[in-house]
Copies of this chain bind each other. A is one copy, B any other.
C-alpha cells in the first residue's frame, strides 16, 4: 500500500496522476521549477518542492534532485508520467536502488524498447510483424546501410535508433539521395539524442497509425484495452486520436491485440504500455515501436473501456493481480481526443506564448477535459505547447464528432492563439467524418482556410465598435489621459458592472 507518491512531472499529466492518487487516498508530492510555482500541479499536491530553474535539464530532468525530494518527503513510489524521465532506464534503476517503487516497467524492458532497432529485432524474434528494413540491432555503418537499401526498396525511411518525435527521420525516394540523407539524419539524431545511430525501414504508403493499449501485472498477466487511431498528425506529432478506429473490425482488433500482448511478453513487460503499429491499405499491420509509459491519449481508451488506466498503474505497481480477463474488456461507443495546443493554425502552427487571460470550458454530457491551465497562467516557451485535452464520447462515431463540435464551440481561450479552429475544421471535414485518412492526411490533403464568414465578421465589427465606444466614453469620464492603456480594458467592464 502506497502512502505517498511523488509525481516526477508537470502540466496536465501531473494533475491527472494526482487525481488518481486523491481518489485512492494517497498523498502526493509535486516537484516544480522556478516558473511553475503557481502551476496547478503544485497547488493540487499535498507537498511541493522546488527543484531548479525553468529549463527541463536543470529541473524536471534532474533525476538526482527528484530522488532527493523522494527521500526527504518519504515517498514510497514515483510516477514519471510521460516525457521527461518516463523512458529512462537509468532513472527507473535508480528508483529501485533507493527502494522506491517506479510506477512503470522494469529497467530492462525500458532499455529493450528504448533502442528502436533493438526493439524491432526483439519483437520480430517473438513473431511480431515488423516493417521490412535493416535487420539486427542498429549501429550499421553507412556502407552497410547503402548496400542493404535496394533490397528494402524505395521509398524508405531513415530512423534514429534512439528516436522519438520525428527527429533524425528522413524519407528517401531514390538511391542517389540516400547518402546525403543519412548524413543529415545522423547529424540531427546526434544533436537530439547524443547518438547518431540510424536504421532503415520501408516506407508504408497510405498507412494509418494504430496503437494498442496494454496492461500487464507483475504476475505474468497481460491484457489489451483495444486500439487507438492516431493518424491525424502533423510533423509526427499526434493532434487528434480516437478509439475505436474506423479502420478496425473485431477480428483485426483481436489479432492486433494478441500480437501486442506477445510483443510485451517478449520483454517481460509490467504496468501500462502501448504498442504502436502501422496499418497498410490491405490491413497488414507492422510493429512500429513500444511506448513504455502512460500515453497522452490514454483518456479515450479509459472512456470506451470504462477503466481508469492511471489508478490501474498504481494498483499494478502495488503488486496487485489484474482485475480483468481479456474477455471482460469491451469497448462502448466512441471517444475522440483533440489536443489543444498554444499555436496559431493560420500562421504555420507557430507556437504562441503569453498569458491566458480568460478560459471558458465546455461542460455537459459526454465531455471530459484534462488540462492544467487556469486564468492568469503564463504559457512559457520552456515546455511543450499542449494546453489541454478535450475528450468527447458518443454512442457512435457520428455522435462523438457532433459532440466534439459542440464542445469546441464552447471552448474559449483568450491571451494565446490556439489550434481550436484547426479542430473545428477537422470535425467539419468530409474525409475525417468519412474515416478515410492516413498519417499524411493533415500535411498533404488538409488545407485549413480562413474561409469567409461574412455574418460573423460583421457581428465582430459591431462588438468591437460598441466596446471601443464604451471605452472611449468611460475613459473620458473617469480615467486621466496618461493612464489609458490596454490594462484599463479589464477595468472598464468592472466599472460598468458597478454602475448598474
Contacts and interface: CB of A to CB of B under 8 A. Distances in A.
Interface of A: 15-16, 19, 22-25, 299, 302, 306-308, 332-333, 361, 363-371, 376, 395, 399, 402-403, 405-406, 409, 487, 497-498
B365 A368 contact: yes
A41 B242 CA distance: 31
B363 A23 contact: no
A19 B399 contact: no
A361 B359 CA distance: 12
Given A23-B405, A306-B395, A307-B395, 12 more contacts: A16-B365, A19-B365, A19-B406, A23-B402, A23-B403, A24-B402, A361-B361, A363-B369, A363-B371, A364-B368, A365-B370, A376-B497
B367 A368 contact: yes
A459 to B, nearest CB: 12
Contacts of A395: 306-308
Given A332-B332, A406-B23, A364 B308 contact: no
27 contacts: A15-B364, A16-B364, A16-B365, A19-B364, A19-B365, A22-B406, A23-B399, A23-B403, A23-B405, A23-B406, A25-B402, A302-B365, A306-B333, A307-B395, A308-B365, A308-B395, A308-B399, A332-B332, A361-B363, A363-B368, A363-B369, A364-B368, A364-B369, A365-B368, A365-B370, A376-B497, A487-B498
A412 to B, nearest CB: 12
Main secondary structure of the interface of A (DSSP, over half): mixed
A299 B365 contact: yes
A368 B362 CA distance: 10
A15 B363 CA distance: 10
A191 to B, nearest CB: 35
Contacts of A369: 363-364
Nearest to A22: B406
A307 B365 CA distance: 10
Nearest to A363: B369
A497 B376 CA distance: 9
Nearest to A333: B306
A170 to B, nearest CB: 39
A428 to B, nearest CB: 12
A354 to B, nearest CB: 14
Contacts of A370: 363-365
The listed residue with most B CB atoms (<10 A of its CB), out of A19, A307, A409, is A19
Nearest to A308: B365
A107 B223 CA distance: 54
A53 to B, nearest CB: 17
Nearest to A371: B363
A433 to B, nearest CB: 13
Contacts of A364: 15-16, 19, 368-370
Contacts of A367: 368
A250 B370 CA distance: 35
